[in-house]
A and B are shown apart, each in its own frame.
Chain A
């Protein structure tokens, strides 16, 4: 069993993003073919499982298919199946896509090419993101509990997964704050890295062979997201907390971590407290992008980020994805947070080439290429 974990390979889930298409290109008729395009996950309002949705965008034809999950699975059960409350992230594993549904404490698995529902994993606590292993297992992070769940994944229709074990990552030294919860998770070699976002400043290193917390790396306040570059360096975006936070409030920062010796190699502090979120990396692993009201870019050799896409017309950039194939940039706009959002697609030179309407609060993109 331990050997399997040693062979752990990154099958990152993360968020590869892109988006585009026009409102008049939106269709609700399921085509049943969802390959070579972009899945867009819309989390919907809190406590309203009816209003989350999964869209699909074809970058070749610029066509958008809305509410794919509900349409494809409308003959399941008496009334069809809906996605649920606050879907948070998508992870691709071969021909499967696992959708982590945060408020419902579950993971749905669909066929990546047809969006047909295959099964679910239940019994989780506030799941956020996951990373899969070659033996069809996954490590799932949690915003609520100080544990990483190890789950047995769904592999075929009518399958149900289960929670096999949990890794305790509680920080026993912090009595004032509940540390550590977990957010993103990335496998590098035979180690797992996760960022403890809420009221914390740590990147945690987990040994999947022993299922123990192995190390922690201090970064800035509230590491919100992270990616791995082509040199296996970990880039961490810290949002700096919020104004009334008892844990602290700073300008936010970017950290580069050496994943071999767990040291901080470089860091950059932002000049102000404007919110930052969702660091992404392109397909070649050499250019970072993130939301800082506008869209900023930083090549991994640079020392300062630069603005590449400016907010216009009071847009509210909420999510970001980079097409690994061609470098197109997909930006999700929350509009007023309570209505159908927008997605803007830019080419790698930052020219807008499409825009289209999606569901409420588009929060992530998954590029589904063969």
Chain B
């Protein structure tokens, strides 16, 4: 109720700006964000690499709940989400959830304990630009390069003017969101940026639970009950504060702090029947994170230097209990304190040749506490990384990029991890490029893989193997049309694939799977139709076909899992988008489809189990831009999620809501 009141007040405060619009200046043509930008590989720096960028404009205009949802709307990346607002993990090109590394302003967000990143905890408000590096494209910058790397960045606004905005949203299921951002100059050489964000939802949607049956009133038939989702509420708030000090045109010192708090309850399986009037379960998690960094950039005699020192402190608390019980059944706390230090230098030796050197020293400390059993554990790990990258424009049409990386984790040496990419422009007008790359896959086991109690396996081997990618990029431009096409074939081999499996001990253990091979095709297309100066239509799709096959020696003659798709990884993932802007109106339609998944390693479907249905879901945003005086602008957006009211699940028995909406007002200046 308090949240609703606050939001109504905020909406009322924004309304007066509408009045100002009567004298607004001439209309402007709306710039809708690029639906998906597949990075052209002509630059020697990115030769052979496959990169998708999400523009700042897309991010600003988005009304999704978190950055994970933003990514899956822009790229064919498979997500697993534990219900609306629940934990969300992304898998790139058929790889596992812990094969996706995430960097925010150079700080790794992956938990050293689990190796994963929960994308539902990354608000869109703290990102200005995102880049998705597929496969080993980020080798050297990123240390885990098997699936891909998501790089999130913020940028300073160095203008003299006060810039900013405020956004308030209200939506279905008692959902309220507010965010603000301000960029301002504190002194001639000192600018600052402040961002606040708040999001909450009771998430109390109703659904017919087809997993359960109850007797009807007459006691003569079984019916599926209508239920209210009573687990899944969330509360997230935080701030991002940045300071930028310009010593001169070539040197800058910046300080960044991102603090965030999250509380949410975790949905139970829809089959769970612990719920009745006397025995209801509470299943909750809370996280608190403080991430700070100090970055220094300078250019001296053509050498660009960057030094980054950062700390990422996270606290996690998970518990559940019966509401009828005074005591919790499970109560786990953990904290991680990770210190990152990066130093890199870049030199443009000549227009065709550049050199990039980097060194990292990272220190990680994890503490866990089981409150029920009163058990505490502590783990430490040091990591050192060195890398060298040479980018070379061999001929006007042929460029290459070579990266050599070596890392040490807890004293263990990875050996050399190379990446080699080339780019060949085969048409004179450079409208068609062929790309290729090859790299070594490598990943150390996480601390949880090795030391969890029970189930940790200190004898685990590192994941290792080779990957290659070949592709073609084509851009066609006419007076009114731009076509952008990108096709990739990728192949990746991972020996000693790390997985959790049940065991004869009665608990799950980490173990190595001898070999997994993933290959597939990625197709990206974008068409931009510039009908007139204020009328634009863009259409895009991004399709990924991925086969992730177990190539391990069968356990025994009854093991039918050889050469079969790994469970819970779909073969087909597609995201498509259509956006248009006309005058002050803007519309964005996105559609996501994930194909059926197998739930068994033998892919057997003969017994009417062993598969998880695929699903598709469409979302629609309609915005109206209202120009006020000078640069002041109001944007009204109505977002409809699950437009076609599909009944679907991202994870088994984790019900998602039907059609729902969010109304947003965004004031920018």
Contacts and interface: CB of A to CB of B under 8 A. Distances in A.
Contacts of B610: 51, 340
5 contacts: A28-B608, A52-B609, A70-B608, A119-B215, A338-B567
Nearest to A147: B325
A223 interface: no
Interface of B: 208, 210-215, 219-220, 222-224, 269, 271-276, 278-279, 281, 322, 325, 329-330, 372-375, 451, 453-454, 456, 501-508, 555-561, 567, 599-602, 604, 606-610, 612, 651-653
Nearest to A76: B222
A141 interface: no
Contacts of B559: 335-336, 339
A77 interface: yes
A47 B278 contact: no
- Shortest 3 CB-CB distances between A and B: which pairs? A105-B274, A339-B602, A338-B601
Given A106-B273, A242-B454, A335-B555, 10 more contacts: A50-B612, A51-B599, A52-B609, A70-B609, A77-B210, A120-B273, A158-B220, A178-B372, A314-B555, A337-B501
A239 B208 CA distance: 44
Contact of B556 (A26, A144, A314, A338): A314
B504 A316 contact: yes
B271 A125 contact: no
Interface in A1-55: 26, 28, 44-53
B555 A163 contact: no
Given A316-B504, A333-B558, A336-B501, A85 B278 contact: no
A124 B359 CA distance: 55
B607 A125 contact: no
A145 B325 contact: yes
B220 to A, nearest CB: 7
Contact of B274 (A46, A48, A81, A123): A123
Given A244-B456, A336-B601, A177 B373 contact: yes
Contact of B561 (A52, A126, A177, A336): A336
Interface in A311-336: 313-316, 318, 333-336
A199 interface: yes
A246 interface: yes
Contact of A342 (B211, B451, B558, B567): B558
B223 A77 contact: yes
A229 interface: no
A340 B561 contact: no
B322 A79 contact: no
Given A28-B606, A78-B208, A318-B504, A158 B272 contact: no
A342 B224 CA distance: 34
A104 interface: yes
A117 B213 CA distance: 10
A178 to B, nearest CB: 5
A133 B560 CA distance: 44
A340 B607 contact: yes
Contact of B453 (A120, A158, A246, A360): A246
Between A122, A126, A291, the greatest number of chain B beta carbons within 10 A of the residue's beta carbon is seen for A122
A82 interface: yes
B649 to A, nearest CB: 10
A122 B653 contact: no
A63 interface: no
B224 A77 contact: yes
Contacts of A177: 373
A111 to B, nearest CB: 14
Contacts of A47: 269, 651-653
A82 B607 CA distance: 13
A242 B222 CA distance: 45
Contacts of A359: 607, 609
B213 A338 contact: no
B347 to A, nearest CB: 49
B557 A275 contact: no
Contacts of B608: 28, 66-67, 70-71
Contacts of B558: 313, 315, 333, 335, 342, 357
Interface in A98-127: 103-106, 117, 119-120, 122-126
A208 interface: no
Given A77-B222, A339-B561, A360 B276 contact: no
A58 interface: no
B504 A51 contact: no
Given A28-B606, A67-B607, A245-B454, A340 B600 contact: yes
B329 A145 contact: yes
Contacts of B451: 244
Contacts of A50: 599, 609, 612, 652-653
Interface string A61-77: 00000110011000011
A47 B612 CA distance: 12
B322 A246 contact: no
A239 B505 CA distance: 8
Nearest to B222: A76
Contacts of A158: 215, 219-220, 222
A47 to B, nearest CB: 7
A81 B221 CA distance: 13
A201 interface: no
Interface in A246-294: 246, 275, 277, 291, 293
A175 interface: yes
Nearest to B604: A340
A103 B556 CA distance: 29
Contacts of B276: 122-123
Nearest to A358: B607
Contacts of B653: 47-50, 85
Contacts of B609: 44, 50-53, 67, 70, 359
Given A105-B273, A242-B454, A49 B556 contact: no
B600 A78 contact: no
B275 A122 contact: yes
Contacts of B456: 244
Contact of B269 (A49, A123, A145, A361): A49
Contacts of B372: 178
B456 to A, nearest CB: 6
Given A77-B223, A82-B211, A275 B272 contact: no
Nearest to B218: A158
B213 A103 contact: no
B145 to A, nearest CB: 27
A175 B71 CA distance: 47
Contact of B501 (A26, A175, A338): A338
Contact of A315 (B274, B556, B604): B556
Given A49-B211, A123-B278, A340-B602, A224 B224 contact: no
Nearest to A119: B215
Contact of B599 (A48, A79, A275): A48
A144 B214 CA distance: 26
Contacts of B606: 28, 66
A103 B283 CA distance: 14
A49 B220 contact: no
Contacts of B604: 339-340
